[in-house]
Amino acid sequence: MAAEKTPSLEELLSGYDTDNLVIATVCSHSSLQIFHGARKEGFKTLGIAIGDRIKFYEGFPLGKPDEFFVVDNYKDIPKYADELREKNVVIIPHGSFVEYLGAEEFMKLEIPTFGNRNVLIWESDRKKEREWLEGAGLTMPEQIDDPRDIDKPVIVKYHGAKGGKGFFIAKTYEEFEKLIDWSKPFTIQEFVMGTRYYLHYFYSPIRDDGYKLKQGSLQLLSMDRRDETTIDELQRIGSISELEEIGIHPTFVVTGNIPIVMRESLLPEVFKMGENVVEKSLELFGGVIGPFCLETVITEDLKFKVFEISARIVAGTNPYISGSPYSDLIEPELSTGRRIAQEIRYAQKNDLLHEILS
Ligand code: AMP
């Protein structure tokens, strides 16, 4: 994944009618929210879809894109870059967009894209991610390099596994050995005991109202907790240890998202963590621009441990299409999708698109 392969934004935007930008994304993940938010800010919208994905949008007229761009396979999107640029399209990347296209193709995609694509280099490599987050002063779960050192519950994560698929918990080396697939690269992390909070921020390098950073400003738009099958409801039929004895192991596959608010006394720390992550990102790669999510566990002594960052809109913002208890204190009915559209509108009006697109 070489940064120099990314085409220059100037080239991509040449020929654009920036007064008539079209907000586009792949029809999945958080697309209803993205289209709905863009429409509220007066943009035309375009949904890139595989044929059978279209019909359900009829059920949600306010989240339906103005136009569909049907492809046989999402991997074909780069082939249509010229055609999409002719339509003045700005891509809003989400997790499924990057996954369907593949990280390398996404980096090279010749269409102006919201956010800083270089963040992928720091986010998709677990070592670099740790360098970024620990460099920002955040506490991450301890990493165990030698499985023989397992002396407490750990979670084993295969690299590149999507949505926690294939992850497993082990409490001893013997348990680990029984379950591990040695053919795949993996990381062993301390299993942090506590409550999970997924914090949804928005960083603007071009606004300086609200919670100010050295450059730009930071918002906390919402938080959620993921619903993960089977771990989250396994206790309905027995304890995890009992089930493991008969060969049933929990899985961590995300099926939905639950809205949540946090005790207010923790909010200063939430802002401080977001601030440090942004400041460090500016130093390392030009900044994490737009929405990002810190995935955390709060321990019983009220300390945050951050196990992951997602550097774009996450599906955990979907419970808040009409605003969250936090975004309501910024502006009524402000979803993350709408906030993205506002940022593009502000940049377009003030000739700052180069600051927020890549
Ligand atoms: P991830 O793919 O890293 O987001 O992890 C998938 C899921 O595994 C998370 O949503 C959590 O439920 C759980 N998880 C990941 N890392 C940890 C950890 N270090 N301690 C406890 N639970 C974790």
Single out the residue of 165, 129, 142, 182 nearest to residue 293, CA to CA.
129
Q: Are strands 195-204 and 217-230 parallel, antiparallel or unpaired?
A: antiparallel
C-alpha 119 to ligand 1 mean position (Å): 21
Lowest mean pLDDT among 216-225, 226-235, 295-304: 226-235
Q: Where does the pLDDT of residue 5 fall: very low under 50, low under 70, confident under 90, or very high at 90 and above?
A: low
pLDDT at 160: 74
C-alpha 338 to ligand 1 mean position (Å): 28
Query: How many percent of the chain have pLDDT more than 70?
Result: 97
| Best probe residue, ligand 1, of 99, 155, 169, 304 (max atoms within 8 Å of C-beta) | 155
pLDDT at 324 over 90: yes
Lowest mean pLDDT among 18-27, 152-161, 253-262: 152-161
pLDDT at 16 over 90: yes
Name all residues whose Cβ lies below 6 A of ligand 1. 141, 155, 157, 164, 167, 189-192, 196, 226, 228, 252, 295, 297, 307-308
C-alpha 66 to ligand 1 mean position (Å): 37
Q: Take residue 231 and report the two structure tokens written for it.
A: 């771990």
C-alpha 307 to ligand 1 mean position (Å): 7
Lowest mean pLDDT among 45-59, 131-145, 319-333: 45-59
C-alpha 228 to ligand 1 mean position (Å): 10
Lowest mean pLDDT among 104-113, 204-213, 244-253: 244-253
Protein residue closest via CA to atom 2 of ligand 1? 164
Q: Is the pTM of this model over 0.85?
A: yes
Q: Where does the pLDDT of residue 191 fall: very low under 50, low under 70, confident under 90, or very high at 90 and above?
A: very high
Q: Which atom of ligand 1 is nearest to the CA of 198?
A: 10
Q: What is the pLDDT of residues 91-123, one digit of tens each?
A: 999 999 999 998 899 999 999 999 999 999 999
Q: Are 36 and 321 in contact (CB under 8 A)?
A: yes
Instruction: Give the span between the Cα atoms of 13 and 17, in whole angstroms.
Output: 9
Q: Which atom of ligand 1 is nearest to the CA of 226?
A: 10
- Between the alpha carbon of residue 47 and those of residues 22, 67, 235, the distances in Å are 10, 6, 40
| Best probe residue, ligand 1, of 123, 252, 309 (max atoms within 8 Å of C-beta) | 252
Q: Which atom of ligand 1 is nearest to the CA of 295?
A: 4
- Between the alpha carbon of residue 88 and those of residues 6, 44, 95, 236, the distances in Å are 19, 10, 22, 51
Single out the residue of 296, 223, 294 nearest to residue 257, CA to CA.
223
C-alpha 226 to ligand 1 mean position (Å): 10
C-alpha 155 to ligand 1 mean position (Å): 7
C-alpha 92 to ligand 1 mean position (Å): 26
pLDDT at 1 over 60: no
Protein residue closest via CA to atom 3 of ligand 1? 308
Query: How many percent of the chain have pLDDT more than 90?
Result: 89
Q: What is the pLDDT of residues 42-87, one digit of tens each?
A: 999 999 999 877 899 999 999 999 999 999 999 999 999 999 999 9
Protein residue closest via CA to atom 6 of ligand 1? 164
C-alpha 191 to ligand 1 mean position (Å): 8
